[in-house]
Amino acid sequence: MQAMLTQAAGARLSKRRRLEVLAEVRPDPRRVAVLLNKNARKVSDRLARTLGSVVGKGNLFYSRTLEEAEGYAREVVQRGYGTVVCGGGDGTLARSVNLVQRYVDEANYWRYERHRRFGEHQSLLQAPRFAFLSLGTGNGIARVVGARDAVRDLERIVADDGVSARQVPLVEVDGERCFFLGLGYDSLLLNHYNWLKARTQSPLCRPMMHSVMGYFAALLTRTLPAVISGRASSLDVRIISRGEGWYVNARAGDLVEAIESDRVLFEGRATFVGAGTTPFFGYGFKIFPFAGMQPGMMNLRIAALSAFTALSHLPSLWNGAYRNPSQVFDFLVNDIEIELVQPYPFQHSGDAQGMRKNLRWRIADEPMEIVDLHRPAKNP
């Protein structure tokens, strides 16, 4: 897989050169495919049949494993779908975006090589637009695009009933793209949640573990005890801006102030380091309130809050209103390096990614086009 990621990254780097000599063809957005993750919380065989009846059985790809998802993503690209609807959670959407984009890059790489080597007339593929059906656990992207009822949303997408599309920048890390990512309380809690979920066997308790109650159970029984007792590893971090950036000055009413490149933004002990191009973690948690303020930027948030302070201000943290200029620092950046004293759990898109010590977070070269399901405002 790493070799495939490396090849895809090389293909992306040469895109500008390819576009100078070959035209890019946009797939028809009226051709709709559904990529459905069987492991998502709200997905069932019955729902899959219902969605298949809406989009057409031959246009529904129902994956049970990562290998199946990879094969279906390749087929979606080969068959030229212009709208790819992802049914699952934030991780399913991010995975589908990465798989589809990888195969678009691969196809374009070989098309360009056929043209360069043999003079064949070729056209390049453009990535399809994506849509989201809210069928996972957290569904942070759901509020961004107005996803609510999966069947009705798919019916609207297929019928082109009052839907539009918008461009959303993505963060690139380790050769993959995502909407949000982080280290600290969030990644530690996610690891504890996965640990607790895997060990919950009771038929009565298992549904609870796939809801916000599962996260609170992990918080109270695992994360808080680990933090309070000192068993949790400390997050000692150095963060350097490698591109354009702005500091959001909470002392001046969230005034945005330009900062120079190659500047150390933070050095010391933190409890959370995260970034997002959209405001929400799951369940409407508005952790990145300044996402979208500047085009092509991510909201980097660094916090040094104790667990007790965070919990005591949870409502204002949840709705994005909390400000603490001495312990919460917000930036708008497009390229940063993160250096840790020791490895720490890392997550993106709500999925645990293992331990990391050094990371590079940057805005991907190309934004993602996503279907917006919000109804247009009616004129008074």
Which pLDDT does position 18 carry in this prediction? Answer: 60
Q: What's the confidence (pLDDT) of residue 301?
A: 98
pLDDT at position 379 is: 58
β-strand partners of 301: 274, 330
pLDDT of residue 16: 57
Name the residue among 285, 45, 50, 29 with its Cα closest to residue 149. 50
DSSP three-state, residue 69: helix
- pLDDT means per 10 residues, the chain with 380 residues, are 47 57 88 93 92 96 92 94 94 94 91 88 91 89 94 96 94 96 88 78 70 77 78 88 96 94 96 96 90 95 91 92 96 98 93 94 95 79
pLDDT at 269: 95
Nearest to 241 by CA among 338, 172, 339, 335: 335
Dist CA 96 CA 261 (whole Å): 33
Q: What is the pLDDT of residue 98?
A: 95
Sign of the alpha-carbon torsion through 308, 314, 316, 318: positive
What's the pLDDT at 197?
A: 75
How far is the C-alpha of 15 from the C-alpha of 287, rounded, in Å?
A: 34
- What's the pLDDT score for residue 12? 53
Q: Which of 238, 262, 261, 259 is nearest to 247 (CA)?
A: 259
Q: What is the pLDDT of residue 19?
A: 59
Q: Give the phi and the psi of residue 197 in degrees, each rounded to 5.
A: -65, -40
Q: What is the pLDDT of residue 239?
A: 98
Residue 20: φ, ψ to 5°: -70, -20
Residue 295's pLDDT is 92
Instruction: Please report which helix (H) or strand (E) contains residue 193, including its range.
Output: helix 185-198
The predicted pLDDT at position 224 comes to 77
What is the per-residue pLDDT for 264?
A: 97
pLDDT of 1 reads: 44
* Distance from C-alpha of 103 to C-alpha of 230, rounded to nearest angstrom: 45
Which H or E run contains 336? strand 335-348
Domains and CATH numbers, the chain: 2-169 (3.40.50.10330), 178-363 (2.60.200.40)
Tell me the C-alpha distance between 221 and 192, whole Å: 9
| Three-state SS at 370 | strand
Q: What is the pLDDT of residue 287?
A: 95
53 phi and psi angles, rounded to 5 deg: -70, -25
Write phi, then psi, for 61 (nearest 5 degrees). Answer: -120, 110
pTM: 0.88
